[in-house]
Structure 1
Amino acid sequence: MPVRGLNDNALAASVAELNARLADMIALRLALKQAHWNVKGPNFIAIHELFDAVHSRLAGHEDILAERVQILGGVALGTVEAVSGAATVEAYPTDLVADRDHVAAISERMAALGGKVRKAIETASEAGDEGTMDIFVALSRALDKDLWFIESHLGG
Structure 2
Amino acid sequence: MPKSEGKPRTRLDLADNAKKASIEVLQGVLTDSIDLYNSTRQAHWNVKGPQFHSLHTLFETFYTQMETDIDEIAERLVQLGGTAMGTSQSVAGGTRLAPYPAGIRQGSEHLHALLERYCAAARTVREGIDATDEAGDADTADLLTGVSRNLDKAVWMMEATAEG
| Aligned mates of 2:95, 2:124 — CA distance in 1 | 11
Structure 1 segments unaligned to the other structure (5+ residues): none
Q: 1:45 aligns with which of 28, 34, 53?
A: 53
* Cα displacement (A) at 1:35: 0.7
1:104 aligns with 2:112: yes
Q: For residue 19 of structure 1, what is the aligned residue in structure 2?
A: 27
In the alignment, what sits opposite 2:150? 142
Tell me what 1:75 maps to. 83
SS of match in other structure, 2:115: helix
Equivalent of residue 130 in structure 1, options 130, 138, 152: 138
The 8 Å contact of residues 3 and 71 in structure 1, kept in 2 or not, is answered as: no
Partner residue, 2:3: none
TM-score by length of 2: 0.92
The one-letter code of the counterpart of 2:28 is A
Q: Tell me if structure 2 keeps the 8 A contact 1:100–1:153.
A: no
Percent identity, please: 38
Q: CA offsets, 1:101-145, max 9 Å, x none?
A: 100100110011000000000000110000100000010011101
Give me the TM-score of the superposition, normalised by structure 1: 0.97
Structure 1: distance between partners of 2:158 and 2:10: 38
- Structure 2 counterpart of 1:125, one-letter code: D
The answer for the alignment partner of 2:37 in structure 1 is 29
Any runs of at least 4 consecutive aligned residues in structure 1 with deviations exceeding 6 A, and if so which? none
Give the total of aligned pairs.
156
Pair 1:64 & 2:77 matched:
no
